[in-house]
Chains A and B, each alone.
Chain A
Amino acid sequence: MSALFKRVLWIVLTAAVITFNSGAVPMTFASSGNIVVIGHPNLPINSISKTDLKNIFTGRKIAWSGDETIVVVILKKSKTHDRFLSKYVNKTSSQFRSYWIRLVFSGKGVAPISLASEEDMVDYVSNTKGAIGYISSNTNNTGTKIISVE
């Protein structure tokens, strides 16, 4: 085992030096406005628990109380996406992506709708029944319902 640990230690140190020197690791997130959870204006809720929000974005909760289908909408790679996942889903973006890859490729889930920008997110959520998503508080949310997270 000692040889293994030496190898791991050597690789970890090398990787750490390369990675941190490259500046490629966003280990902390820049503050650019709070995260706001938004939904279609006709959603039957005004607030949601953090647990339910996590269950929705991990595909476990699939319908609103009125049996309407939940349409989960996520952003592609962005700081808002990273911050939402960290705050409410307790996953990094790579873990979240890996989680959904597992569901999709094992026949256990249908992947969320993925959009490129927050403007697209607002547009899609405001026009899609049952939709829920998230944006930065700096983004215009006209046409959507703000959902507070308890």
Chain B
Amino acid sequence: MKKIMSITVCIIVMMAGSPQAYEVGGVDIHGFVSQGYLCSDDNNYLADTEGGTTEFNEFGINFTKRITDRLSVGLQFFARDLGDYGGDDLELDWAVINYGWKEWLGFRAGRLKMPRGFYNEIRDIDSARVNILMPHSLYSETARDESAGVEGAGIYGTIPMGFMGNACYQVLFGRIDSKSDKSGTTAALEAQGADDITDIDYDDLFVYSLIWETPLEGLRTGWCFLDLSVEVEASLDYNYNVNSYLGMIVIPDGMGGWVGIPAGALQPDYFIHTIVDLDIEVGFVFDLSKIKMNVYSVEYVYDNLVLAYEHVYTETLTSMLDTSGALLLRETGEPYLQDYHIETEAYYVSAAYRFSEWFELGAYYATAYYNREDRDGDNVMIPSTGETWGANAWLKDECVSLRFDLSENWTLKLEHHSMDGLYSVDPDDDGNTDKNWHLYAAKMTLRF
């Protein structure tokens, strides 16, 4: 696989001498390769960033052919390396058969990009945006493998509404198929002590996307609704001591966070069946039975200025069943079962201005809350310390980006993030965290 990747990168570099796509036998060929650098003054974010890392690259190559007037097919291979994510494993990013019957009705099938918000479909295309890291609040790099694509089918179209503008819609039905053992879900569970993730099963997924292109030129608003079910089977090895958590038992929630269960309420009904020095091997099935995501978007383009605002609410209803028998119901001996509900909230506002053909400046302010009902993280304990979750419950990001288009093919970007919070942030190499920290990024992209 690495050999294929190396060959692909070489092809891209050779082809990039011209900004034009290559055409072989009626097949259009496009590609890109990026290499980046990340460095943080405290903490580790996405990779081992404290002290700097070059584990930040991606490449893709796609092939598209128009079969008939209305029918086209295409596919793209993609690989990335971002710390523990991706590992430069080559994957089929998208593979689409597309039939455009009318302007207002077309059909797509295959592995499709997910239209979640205005920019999720282009999240891997560095050349199409000013910033290096998209706002974590909506376009988390750790969740990229679960949110990039859908295997299924859908319809799309643009309905002209006269003086009211246009309505653009997409409806997709399918399944997420993240086989990668370096996906975000896998990494989140491993970070929480999972030593054996036996299965991640994504159930049926529906995505509805509606964009209104308003009569005001350049202004568009959008709404996207996503309905998904996930079942994760994992064996987790973690420690807990009921007394040290101020009456809370804290368990991983399967999404990167923790859920506290009042031990007082638990004690009369449950007892610890299997225990070895307070190290408990637990097999859980996380049935994230109802994930519902609403994304609201606004974008305004005026000449060289682009303004955007997006807000997302993600509601998760989870049933967690202990299948290992480590925890049993005291009276009946039935396995431990816990239902809980979490609603995350995130938003960002961004601005970008292109000063010239070769220079663009961008900035955004993004905020993400793990639980909108507990924005300060006061209601959850950290298992290892017994302290409240605090800054782990949020991440606020002030970002400034500089983009230099050295040519039509070559792009260089520099970026600074001033961060407040530790949500999705790892401790530094010494195991310490600082809630106020900085991240610096640089990235070079070659595209053809």
- Decide if B359 touches A15 in the complex (CB within 8 Å): yes
**Which residues of B have CB within 8 Å of A55?**
103, 158
Q: Are A62 and B355 in contact (CB under 8 A)?
A: no
Q: A114–B75 Cα gap in the complex (Å)?
A: 22
A92 to B355, CA, bound (A): 12
B359 and A8 form a contact (CB under 8 A)? no
One of A3, A63, A102 near B418 (C-beta < 8 A): A3
Are the C-beta atoms of B355 and A110 separated by less than 8 Å? Answer: no
Which listed residue (B30, B69, B357) contacts A24, Cβ 8 A?
A: B357
Enumerate A18-71 residues with CB–CB distance to B below 8 Å.
18-19, 22, 24-26, 51, 55, 60-63, 67-69
Minimum CB–CB distance for B303 against chain A, Å:
7
On whether the beta carbons of A77 and B356 are closer than 8 Å, the reply is: no
Known: A4-B398, A4-B418. A68 touches B69 (CB 8 A): yes
A107 to B78, CA, bound (A): 13
B113 and A107 contact, CB distance less than 8 A: yes
Contact call B217/A90, Cβ cutoff below 8 A: yes
Give the shortest distance, in Å, between B24 (CB) and chain A (any CB): 14
Residues of A within 8 A of B340 (CB): none
Contact in complex: B64, A104 (CB < 8 Å): yes
The stretch from A93-101, A119-127, A132-140, A142-150 touching chain B is A93-101
State whether B94 touches A94 (Cβ < 8 A): no
B160 at the interface (CB under 8 A from A): yes
With an 8 A cutoff between CB atoms, is B212 at the interface? no
Q: Is there an interface contact between A107 and B125, defined as CB atoms closer than 8 Å? A: no
Is the beta-carbon distance between B103 and A94 smaller than 8 angstroms? no
Q: Which residues of chain B are near A12, meaning CB under 8 Å?
A: 353, 361
Fill in one digit per residue for B45-74: 1 if any A CB lies within 8 Å of its CB, else 0: 000000000000000101010100110101
Known contacts: A8-B363, A105-B128, A107-B76. The answer to whether A1 contacts B21 by CB under 8 A is no
Point out which of A22, A51, A101, A105 has the most chain B C-beta atoms below 10 A from its C-beta: A105
Q: Which residue of B lies closest to A77 (CB)?
A: B408
CB contact under 8 A between A107 and B98, given known A4-B365, A90-B218, A95-B301: yes
List B contacts of A77 (CB < 8 A): 408
Could you tell me the distance in whole angstroms from the C-beta of A86 to the nearest C-beta in chain B?
Answer: 9
Across the interface, name the chain A residue whose C-beta is closest to B399. Answer: A4
Q: Does B447 lie at the interface of the complex (its beta carbon under 8 Å from any beta carbon of A)?
A: yes
B122 within 8 A of A: yes
Q: A104, B103: Cβ atoms under 8 Å?
A: no
Contact B62 A60 (CB under 8 A): no
CB distance from A58 to the nearest CB of B (A): 10
| Chain A residues whose CB sits within 8 angstroms of the CB of B301 once the complex forms | 91, 95
- Of chain B, the residue at the smallest CB distance from A97 is B408
What is the 8 Å Cβ interface bit string for chain B, positions 93-105, against chain A (1 contact, 0 not)? 0111010100100
Give chain B interface residues in 82-108, CB to chain A under 8 Å. 94-96, 98, 100, 103, 108
- Interface pairs A-B: 3 shortest CB-CB: A69-B69, A107-B96, A4-B398
Interface residues of B (CB under 8 A from A): 19-21, 28, 30, 32, 60, 62, 64, 66, 69-70, 72, 74-76, 94-96, 98, 100, 103, 108, 112-113, 121-122, 124-125, 127-129, 158, 160, 217-218, 301, 303-304, 353-361, 363, 365, 398, 400, 402, 405, 408, 416, 418, 447
A–B Cβ pairs within 8 angstroms, 11 of them: A11-B400, A24-B356, A25-B355, A62-B69, A62-B100, A69-B69, A94-B357, A98-B127, A101-B447, A105-B60, A105-B125
